[in-house]
Amino acid sequence: MIELSPLHAARYAYVPKVPEIFLESILNIAPRSTAIVEPEKDREALKNAFPNSYGKPAVEFVAAQSPLKTKPLTVGVILSGGPAAGGHNVIAGLFDALKKAHPQSTLIGFKGGPSGLIDGTYIELTSEIVDRYRNTGGFDIIGSGRTKIETQEQLEKSFKNARNIALDALVVVGGDDSNTNAAMLSEYFRQRGAAVTVVGVPKTIDGDLKNEWIESSFGFDTATKVYAELIGNICRDAASGRKYWHFIKLMGRSASHIALECAFLTRPNVALISEEVEAKQMSLSSIVNSIADAISARAAKGENFGVIIIPEGLIEFIPEIKRLIAEINDIIAAEGSLYETLSKGEVQRSFIAARLGPESAALFSSLPEVIQSQLCWDRDPHGNVQVSRIETEKLLVEMTSRRLREMAEKNEYTGKFDYQTHFFGYEGRCAFPSNFDADYCYSLGYDACLLILHSLSGYIAAIRNLAAPAKDWLPGGIPIVSMMNIERRHGKDKPVIKKALVEIEGKPFKAFSEARDAWALSSDYRIPGGIQYFGPPAITDMPAITLQLERNS
């Protein structure tokens, strides 16, 4: 038997806090319909694509007038996409709720993500298995995967396996692309006449799966606290050594929610927000100039050190690079078979360069060769450029160094520039979940079971009022299709969940923009330390600062 660390053993004993309504018998909780929730755009196209799912109301769970009658259910669960702290608690909450509804209900876990459903590989999740993973990080209870379910063959295999297992319901735990899978499966099962309720659970450390009803995706709270601890340590090191500028890239494939939250938690000298770059149509050179100006201003104070936070997806938000990436995506989509036969490096770069338009070709050739190659690397299964493998932090270091030399030649800069680069990503995905994420994820699993019990297929679990104590949280759900739009993927228009980006007019960004000028010149960094699991609730249960700013007046 593996010997547990003291913290591991203590986390097993933690009992998640839940919304007050969950203290009722699960059979005495019922959905109450609220307003019809429709997508922001592409409504006709989505209505045609999802005729069985479109136009349904949001629901909130309230005390029932009479208890629900139920039978033993067989429910499957899929962990999809990258791990996020709390996924195991989603399964624990789902398992406990199912057993409360009917002790003979069965929960099975499809192994390795969506491919487990397609291939029919799964295990029964017993109490002995589930109990070993309560309040722990990772997705290793059944594994995960990034398979995109979209072809007729994949959908039909999923349907046949669901039928062979006599599946009553399926829970898909994942981000925007994974919950798009859930919507596709729900619609297909309905079209095939299968009474399988498919529900989603909002997971992504990026924080880009949210709206009025989904106030936060799980894993975000834990990841940002982990990254903030590391950034805070670097801030203290920078102020101690006083000789390095630290360029820190943070995970977040598209949205800058992680960068913004970590900026509040640590107060770096510079924090770039991708959405602002796009809104202001900032060029790569203007971004570099802003960094160089900040470095020069601190050098004038005799402080040749500092900390810069860079969102992972920044490069896709710089307008001219965004256009370049779109052209490369279309080239790869159109000539994929030939492209896949080419060796990486110079051959692929030449292939792409020869097919680009004049402006994009000029920009492409101006970038360092290593960045050119990274832009040409294989896309992920959803057609996205793999921004985590593009060393944006090193690109900015090289260009900033060049700009500072130009400034020095004009006597506009007299400091010394030395640097270190970092990328924090995988460090935050599988940590022990914070108390917030442990509570939230357990409640999401319980909420998903309620959606199943009331046959609300095509819905995603949604819990509101998250800035309040857990007892005051408001569980419910919304149709997944209401979150979708039509986007270009692999050269084709496809229905996908729209990413929730940082709102430039939102309260969190406005608070950040009011504070950043003072942070730029200050060395009074905030050092948050590690995640606190024990102690006063004001410390252990504190939700994200951005969540508080968004939800509290």
Q: What 8-state DSSP symbol labels residue 365?
A: H
Q: Which one, of 336, 342, 401, lies nearest residue 368 by Cα?
A: 401
Q: How far from the centroid of its chain's Cα atoms is residue 88's Cα?
A: 16
Q: Residues 176, 177, 206, 221: which is the catalytic one?
A: 206
Neighbour order of strands in the sheet with 29-36 = 29-36, 57-63, 474-479, 459-464, 197-202, 169-174, 74-79, 106-110, 122-124
Residue with tokens 């857990």: 470
Task: Report the relative pairing of strands 459-464 and 197-202 from DSSP bridges.
Answer: parallel
Task: Report the relative pairing of strands 484-489 and 492-497 from DSSP bridges.
Answer: antiparallel
Question: Rounded to an integer, what distance in angstroms lies between the CA atom of residue 430 and that of residue 425?
Answer: 10
CB 531 within 8 A of CB 539: no
* Burial class (CB within 10 angstroms; exposed 0-12, middle 13-18, buried 19+) of 126: exposed
Termini Cα distance of the chain? 50
Question: Rounded to an integer, what distance in angstroms lies between the CA atom of residue 1 and that of residue 357?
Answer: 61
Question: Rounded to an integer, what distance in angstroms lies between the CA atom of residue 184 and that of residue 149?
Answer: 8
Question: Rounded to an integer, what distance in angstroms lies between the CA atom of residue 238 and that of residue 517?
Answer: 19
Q: What 8-state DSSP symbol labels residue 444?
A: H
Give Dmax (Cα) for the chain.
80
**542 CB contacts (<8 Å, ≥6 apart)?**
436
Question: Rounded to an integer, what distance in angstroms lies between the CA atom of residue 428 and that of residue 83?
Answer: 9
Measure the CA dihedral 289/293/299/300, to 10°.
Answer: 140
Q: How many CA atoms lie within 13 A of 500 on its CB side?
A: 23
293 belongs to the catalytic site:
no
**Three-state SS sequence of 194-250:** CCCEEEEEEECCCCCCCCCCCCCCECHHHHHHHHHHHHHHHHHHHHHHCCCEEEEEE
Task: Name the amino acid, one letter, at 413.
Answer: Y
Residue 301 burial (CB count, 10 A): 10
With residue 407 as reference, give the H or E element that holds it. helix 392-409
CB 322 within 8 A of CB 278: yes
What does the block give as tokens for 83? Answer: 């791990």
Helix 369-376 vs helix 358-366: crossing angle, to nearest 10: 120
Cα–Cα distance list, 385 to 254, 395, 426, 455 (Å):
10, 17, 18, 37
Handedness of CA 136, 140, 142, 143 (dihedral sign): positive
What does the block give as tokens for 445? Answer: 């699993």
Q: Write out the catalytic residue numbers.
A: 206
